[in-house]
Structure 1
Amino acid sequence: MTSNKRILMAALSGAFMAGPMASAAFAADYGPVYAQPEAVPVIVEPAPVAVASGWYLRGDVGHSFNSETDGHYRVLDSGIITERDYDTIELRGNTDFSVGAGYRFNRYLRADATLGFWKRDVYGSTEFSDVLFFDDTSKITAWEMMANAYVDLVTFGKITPYIGGGLGFTRVKYGTLKNRAFCYDPSICGNSYEADHGGLTSTRFTWALMAGASVDITRNTKLDFGYRYSHVRGGKAFGWDAFDQAAGATGPQGYDDGFSVHQVRVGLRYEFGGPQSAVYQPEPLPVYDQGPAPVYK
């Protein structure tokens, strides 16, 4: 064997022996490579929000629209009393006021007691015969005491719609009623005349239904927009004039059949117990567990 062949064989033998050792050194330099596991979302639940309960105060201003009702009155003629029905009784709209105090039991249920005041002009008219007509005008003042309960529905951001109902009593006081009679044929019914009838006071059962929404202004202060329908039971309205009293008439002469009142309201509510807003938190974002990170050497 020639010297060249010996040199070539020695080189091949060295390369063969160095191959495994070089691979091991290469692997040792770079370290292990970990396969990445499939990402699994881990949901982080938000902490529960405490909904405060406790006392609150409220004040409201409302506008009531015109409404109509019925009624009847008694007539004394030659010692005989008969009853007649009004063709219409109209209650004119006006501004109403109320204040109250209440208690929130939880984020859904609250209740309050309110004291309200309203004043109206009232008009009544009837056609007594083909030639005789009556017009009555008066004023009504009323104090209303109500116990109310509300259910707050789903909260959308700072807005919480609600529904509610109430029961109570209204102290209705009529002012002096001006009665005017118009006779279009004096030969039949005489001349027209005017007379005053003393107003009467009565306490009447009242019920109401409410719907609206409250808006969070601050953590404790709510702005309330709502609609309210209430019905005041009928009762006595006015007494006899001086002429009929002299003829022996006693007791009430006129009655109304009650009032149905449609009202829009705006008010403020201050809750001492703290906020009940932000009941619904945003959906939690998923946090992905990436597993152990690879270590490179």
Structure 2
Amino acid sequence: MTLVSTLAPAYRGARRNPAALFAGFAAAIVMASPAAAQKAEPGAYVVARAGAQIDSDVKPTQVLAKGQTVSKTTPTLPKNIDHDGGFTGELGMGYDFGGIRVEGTAGYDTAKVNAKALSTKTYSGAGRTKSFDLGVAAYVDLVRDGPFKPFVGGGVGASRVDYSISRLMIDKTPGTQKPMVGIDGKDWGFRWHLDAGASYDVTPQTSIELLGRYSQTGGMKVKGVSLDESLVRQTTDYKMKNTSTSIMVGLRQKF
């Protein structure tokens, strides 16, 4: 079975199951890895990665204060807000101990809301989610002999997530207030990710890589504002959770 035939079903199912792509990468890597492994040359390195978020979602949960109620005419947000494909990238430094690598990175992610999925016959949806990520990660090279090195790994860290998501009643009258609901705020959350990929040593010091990643960020809390059909304004809290499946290409350069 080829690497392409192994990854194809996972790619097709990635939007239905965010972990499918990671599972496909991991399966392909295990199949491609020989049993024998030899120690790789250690050394410090810098790394740069960039790619696309294939699927990303925001899951808001409204939290009402004690005794607080929401009018039945107030528009609501779905429990899962789908996003279009977006950008993801990171820069970092690490150390290769000889088949085991540890690195620290700073990254940036951004994706627009899937406006069609968020809209209804009555409401028009729009928005964007952005995040600044800081983290540490560890990777194990499954093959340490030869230029081709499949690897698996993962990391933990923190993300500063910026939300701007809204639903607005469709009305042809310009300049008038309309019933709406929106989230607009920033907060830090705990982030973890699982990675699988493969690198190729162009020279003893320079490697290129292809990496698949599933990440999840939780623990954020932001304010939401709504106007019901009587244009009564109400503020509520939302607990937020983000998930993302992405593919990146990278370059590692040893010192």
Q: TM-score range by the shorter chain?
A: 0.5 to 0.7
What is residue 232 of structure 1 aligned with on the other side? 217
* Structure 1: runs of 5 or more not aligned: 1-48, 184-190, 273-297
What is residue 119 of structure 1 aligned with on the other side? 110
- What's the secondary structure of 2:156's corresponding residue? strand
Quick one: which of 142, 151, 156 aligns to 2:131? 142
Q: Is the 8 A contact 2:42 2:95 kept in 1?
A: yes
What is residue 222 of structure 1 aligned with on the other side? 207
* Structure 2: runs of 5 or more not aligned: 1-37
- Normalising by structure 2, what TM-score? 0.67
Count of residues paired in the alignment? 206
Quick one: which of 264, 274, 289 aligns to 2:247? 264
What is residue 47 of structure 2 aligned with on the other side? 58
CA RMSD of aligned residues (A): 3.5
- What's the secondary structure of 1:222's corresponding residue? strand
1:51 is displaced (CA, Å) by 4.6
Q: Is the 8 A contact 1:210 1:229 kept in 2?
A: yes
- Distance, in Å, in 2 between the alignment partners of 1:145 and 1:87 is 27
> Which AA in structure 2 matches 1:113?
G
What is residue 86 of structure 1 aligned with on the other side? 78
- Distance, in Å, in 1 between the alignment partners of 2:86 and 2:233 is 38
> Which AA in structure 1 matches 2:91?
V
1:239 is displaced (CA, Å) by 2.5
- Distance, in Å, in 2 between the alignment partners of 1:167 and 1:112 is 11
2:90 maps to 1:101? no
Cα 1:85–1:178 shift into 2, 3 Å: closer
Cα 1:140–1:50 shift into 2, 3 Å: closer
- Normalising by structure 1, what TM-score? 0.59
1:209 is displaced (CA, Å) by 0.7
> Which one has the largest radius of gyration?
1
- What's the secondary structure of 2:113's corresponding residue? strand
- Cα displacement string for residues 157-216 of structure 1 (whole angstroms, at most 9, x for unaligned residues): 3101111010111110113x4421359xxxxxxx99355746111111111111111101
1:97 is displaced (CA, Å) by 1.5
- What's the secondary structure of 1:81's corresponding residue? coil
Q: Is the 8 A contact 1:125 1:133 kept in 2?
A: no
Alignment of 1:1-297 (within 5 A): 51-73=40-62, 80-81=69-70, 86=78, 88-105=80-97, 107-123=98-114, 125=118, 133-155=122-144, 157-175=146-164, 177-181=165-169, 193=178, 195=180, 197=182, 199-233=184-218, 235-241=220-226, 249-252=234-237, 254-256=238-240, 258-272=241-255
